[in-house]
Amino acid sequence: MIRLRFAPSPTGSMHVGGVRTALFNWLFAKKNNGKFILRIEDTDKERSSKESEREIINSLKWCGLDWDEGPDIGGEYGPYRQSERLDIYKKYINFLIEKNMAYYAVYDKNNNEIYTSNNYPEKYKNESIVVKFRVNKNGITEYNDLLKGNIKFRNDLIDDFIILRSNGIPVYNFTVVIDDHFMKITHVIRGEDHISNTQKQIMLYKAFGWDIPEFMHIPLILGNDRKPLSKRHGGTSVEYFRKEGILKDALMNYLALLGWTINDEIFDYKDKINDFSPDNISNKGVIFDYDKLEWLCGKHLRLMDADQLINEYIDWLKYTDNHVLKDYIIKNIEYSKKVILICREKINTLKQLKDFSYNFFIDDFDYEEKYIEKYLKKEWIIELIKTSIEKFENLEDFSIENVEKILREIAELKITSKKNTFQSIRGAVLGKLVTPGLFESIAVLGKDRVLSRLRRVEVFINEYFKK
């Protein structure tokens, strides 16, 4: 059976590069009716944290990358953790020592190797004692990378390397081999920054006489300066993009496009499982384009039906602690759907949706300065607003057609220009000059809200002109 794993270290936020690696592993496993496994590599006690582990797990779940096995935690699979497998590693450290393929090495305070032995150096027990793998200096180590082809390493260029630290914790290159063997991993898809580790890992596989998995090293995601994507380029974590209001479907769609050659541009990655193949992964570095991601998010946002979009929005408001707005929307769900559907045409993210639609949900908004300066200081504004109140008071059916008819009637009175008429009323009911379509906005707001807001701006104008 095809078995793949994603094995992050819980030493920071969940980087989008890691999510893309997890995605490619997940797709390959699902394509082949195999298994996808999550393993937390937390043997670096100083840098690993439970908070980071929780963020990794929550990010993967949010992205929809479910794993297929692991310890049972209340009816669902938890991840494997290296910190819970130390006894297994110890057994195979001892095996290598017994077979003369590893040995003890003692280091002084200046990090100089001062003694080596096949037996535990008891007389140096107060010094720094590690275990090192004995490298066979003859020949080469080679393997066929599924993306990069045949890769060779000269053995005489590598020194004996540490497999067990002085604190009793084994190193990454050792634990990964033990875990991948016992978890029956058949394919390892990971970033090309791991190529340098592969020689040591293959040496260990051969030392144990174990089958070596297929390796595939994919190019890293780059910033616009063609250096690995990092915080100097902008946000890089799943949590960052989630807080910015990027839809998970859009993020996963975009990450799939970073290196995977596929005909479609806008898709749900779960619909493309059967199209995935390592043969379609590019060997070229890929640049992360924040604008392209935002554009793609807008496309997904506008393709959603009203129920799906409102649920995504409510979940995002909860995630970002906007509980007052979330509660209002839940209590006024049908009105909120109408608002969101007319607002989404001009925005690309849920965060932009919040900013753009906010004045539909609160009545005590501030009028933007540009609106005050350009319209509310004009002599004709008092007459225009008073006339608008009278016209809308007599309108019973606030359909878009009827709203448009009333607005055009007001404009035809030539109190001011048509543009001034429409923009003055737009600002009066929504506090700003860039909004969804005016006719649609007024129809959605409804008679009571529109009249209340027109009367509010009338009071504001009267107070202003008294100054």
CATH no., domain 3-84+221-290: 3.40.50.620
End-to-end CA gap in the chain: 80
pLDDT at 200: 98
pLDDT at 138: 94
Q: Can you tell me the distance from the alpha carbon of 348 to that of 355, in angstroms, rounded to the nearest whole number? A: 11
Question: pLDDT above 90 covers what percent of the chain?
Answer: 96
Helix (H) or strand (E) holding 461: helix 438-466
Residue at token pair 């590598």: 158
Overall fold of domain 86-218:
Rossmann fold (3.40.50)
Q: Can you tell me the distance from the alpha carbon of 63 to that of 256, in angstroms, rounded to the nearest whole number? A: 12
Query: For residue 68, how many other CB atoms are within 10 A of its CB?
Result: 15
Give pLDDT tens digits for 186-222.
999 999 999 999 999 999 999 999 999 999 999 999 9
pLDDT at 334: 97
Q: Can you tell me the distance from the alpha carbon of 118 to that of 39, in angstroms, rounded to the nearest whole number? A: 32
467 classed as catalytic: no
Q: Can you tell me the distance from the alpha carbon of 356 to that of 256, in angstroms, rounded to the nearest whole number? A: 29
Residue 394 has pLDDT above 70, yes or no: yes
Residue 464 has pLDDT above 80, yes or no: no
Q: Where are the domains of the chain?
A: 3-84+221-290, 86-218, 306-361, 369-466
DSSP for 56-95 reads HHHHHHHHT---S---BSSSSBPPEEGGG-HHHHHHHHHH
Q: List Cα–Cα distances, 101 to 94, 203, 276, 442, in angstroms.
A: 10, 11, 40, 79
Q: Does 86-218 match 3-84+221-290 at the fold level?
A: yes
Residue 466 has pLDDT above 80, yes or no: no
CATH no., domain 369-466: 1.10.10.350
Q: Catalytic one among 61, 91, 231, 405?
A: 231
Give pLDDT tens digits for 93-109.
999 999 999 999 999 99
pLDDT at 467: 59
CA 150-191-162 angle, to 5 degrees, is 85
